[in-house]
Amino acid sequence: MRKQDVLFLSIVSVLFLLLFGAVSLWDSMQSTGELYAKVFYKDELILMIDLHTNEYVIYNTPYKNQINVGLASEGIFYVPGTTTQSMEMLYLVDNYAKDNQVVGIKLMVENQKIRIAYQESPRDLCELQSPTDSRLRPLVCLPNELTVSVFTNMNADEFIPDAILE
C-alpha cells in the first residue's frame, strides 16, 4: 500500500471517530435522564417501557393480545415475533413462559438496558446483540420484524400517549 493511501485511510478513520464522538456527545446533551424503549412489531409501535421503573404502556394495536407483561415488575416482557413460534427451548428454562404458553420474543430489562433474551430466527443472531440504553444502538431483529429503539430525550409526561390499552 502506498504512503498516500495509508495517510488517506488514517485521515478518514480519525474523521469518523470525531464524527461519532460528536454525535454521542450531542445525544448525551439531549438526554433528560429518562430512558424509554419503544418496541415496534411489523413497523407498528406496540409497547413502550420505562427502563428505570419497568412501567409500560401497551398500544391499542392488532397485536395487543400477543403481548405478555405478567413479569414486567421483574423486567421481563414477551412480544410477538414473526418467526418465533416454537418455544420449546425457552420452556426448558422459563417456567412462567411454559405455564402461560407464551409464544413470542422475550425481552429483558436489566441495569436500565434492554436486550433480546429469546427468539427464533435463522442462526438466532438477534439474541447476540448486546443490551442497549442508547438510541444510537437499537435492537433489530429483521426475521421477526421487531425493532427496539431507546429514547433518552423524552420527559416523563410524554410516557403516557393517547392511544393506549393499559
Tens digit of pLDDT at every position of the chain (166 positions): 677 776 777 787 777 777 766 555 555 545 456 889 999 999 999 999 999 999 999 999 999 999 999 999 999 999 999 887 778 889 999 999 999 999 999 999 999 999 999 998 777 788 899 999 988 899 999 989 999 999 886 555 555 554 444 4
**Shared domain check, 88 and 74:** yes
* Same domain, yes or no: 61 and 45: yes
> Does 111 share its domain with 51?
yes
Does one domain contain both 16 and 50? no
80, 13: one domain: no
**In-domain check, residue 164:** no
C-alpha cell at 44: 407498528
Residue 165 pLDDT: 47
* Residue 98 and residue 25 share a domain: no
List beta partners, residue 151. Answer: 36
The H or E element containing residue 8 is helix 3-30
User: E strands, the chain, where?
Assistant: 36-41, 44-50, 56-58, 76-79, 105-110, 113-118, 139-141, 146-151
Tell me, yes or no, whether 138 lies in a domain: yes
Does some domain include residue 60?
yes
* pLDDT for position 75: 96
Answer yes or no: do 62 and 4 share one domain.
no
